[in-house]
Amino acid sequence: MLNQNEFDLWAEGYDKSVGVSEEENSYPFAGYKAVLGTIFQTVMEKPHAVVLDLGFGTGTLTAKLYENGCTVYGQDFSARMLELAAPKMPQAHLYQGDFTQGLVEPLLARRYDFIVATYALHHMTDAQKLSFLRVLREHLNPGGQILIGDVAFETRGELEQCRKDAGDEWDDEEVYFVVEELKKAFPTLDFLQISFCSGVLSLGRAAEET
């Protein structure tokens, strides 16, 4: 896993490196634009939504939400990513912090209509993901949703096939989502497959929950 300094160094070229993979329809960012677009459209269904973005990076998605009337909160591991993102949304509430250690204190005090994470939570172990998702769900408003866009697979077999096909390009330090395994803990989890290696996972909080 990249440490904070390595994330900072990668920040300047992040969007370009993502774009190359997306255009080539190759692992790991095949379907990247469609993943972000799907999340954007879902959030836009609720006017003036309050959104928490985890791992907002350079603000590619977050800034669009901000420009379209959302109240934006965010947490990212990299100080440099925050520096690049902040000028795009001056009234957003952005914080630096390692979310493998949880949410920073100011974010714990609020609830959100949407909690989004794009290509960020694969830096957590499966056990960390389960624990974190349970915490995040408690910070949703009734009827809210967690929306995760990432490298993700319906089954473990599909993940292993992608690993084989990717060869030396496969990143063994990242832990990708396997939907059939997550559903054991979250039976209501939904998954929309976008490309052979990506999709959008959604986990809601029922309107009657308080």
Note the pTM of the prediction, 2 decimals.
Answer: 0.89
Number of other residues whose CB lies within 10 A of the CB of residue 171: 15
50: in domain: yes
At which residue do the structure tokens 């009734």 appear?
142
Provide the mean pLDDT of the chain: 89
Phi, psi torsion values for 198, nearest 5 degrees: -145, 160
Over residues 168-180, mean pLDDT? 96
- Average pLDDT over every residue of 103-132: 96
Query: What does the DSSP 8-state code read for residue 88?
Result: G
* Domain interval for residue 123: 27-204
* 5 in a structural domain: no
Question: In 3-state terms, what secondary structure has residue 153?
Answer: strand
65: in domain = yes
Q: How many domains does the chain have?
A: 1
What pLDDT sits at residue 2? 39
Output 18 or 68, whichever has higher pLDDT.
Answer: 68
Residue 136 has pLDDT above 80, yes or no: yes
pLDDT given for residue 3 in this prediction? 47
Residue 68 has pLDDT above 50, yes or no: yes
Would residue 18 count as lying in a domain?
Answer: no
How many residues does the structure list for the chain?
210
Which is nearest to 66 in space by CA: 17, 26, 116, 29?
Answer: 116
Has residue 1 been placed in a domain?
no
* Model pLDDT for residues 22-41, shown as the tens digit of each residue: 677 889 989 888 898 999 99
Res. 1: pLDDT tops 60: no
Residue 15 domain-assigned (yes or no) = no
Percent of the chain with pLDDT over 90: 74
Would 193 be classed as within a structural domain?
yes
CATH of the domain at 115: 3.40.50.150
What is the per-residue pLDDT for 138?
A: 96
Is residue 7's pLDDT more than 50? Answer: no
Q: Is the pLDDT of residue 8 over 50?
A: no
Distance of CA 5 to the CA centre of its chain: 20
In this prediction, residue 205 has a pLDDT band, given cuts at 50, 70 and 90, of confident
133 in a structural domain: yes
> Which residue bears the tokens 């039976």?
187
